[in-house]
Amino acid sequence: MTEASVTTVEEQRALIAGMDATIAALLRQRAAAARRLGELRTVMGHPRTELAWENEALRRYGAELGPLGVRLGLLLLEMTRDTPDGPPNERSRK
């Protein structure tokens, strides 16, 4: 391998690592927003979650990313869904 290709590999790895950190931060932000939304809905007398709204989110993921996008959307909803105990990552910290 040449030095240029090693640098390119390292640069690409660094780029991907940065993207991964951004994705993780966005998931934490999404979880916080879902929690606030659930609280607002509860104050208004509605259920914490709205299945129709979650289904629309899944349609958006599917439209943008295809069938794997729907699967990703399901996972993201599960990871950031507002529950009485908080998102899964917060429950494990208690």
Question: pLDDT by residue (tens digit) across 48-79?
Answer: 999 999 999 999 999 999 999 999 999 999 99
Task: Give SS3 for 28.
Answer: helix
Question: pLDDT by residue (tens digit) across 15-56?
Answer: 999 999 999 999 999 999 999 999 999 999 999 999 999 999
What burial letters (b/e) apply to 37-53, b meaning 16+ CB within 10 Å?
ebeebeeeeeebeeeee
The pTM assigned to this predicted structure is 0.75
Taking only Cα atoms into account, the Rg of the chain, rounded to an integer number of angstroms, comes to 18
Report the CATH fold assignment for 3-91: Chorismate Mutase Domain, subunit A (1.20.59)
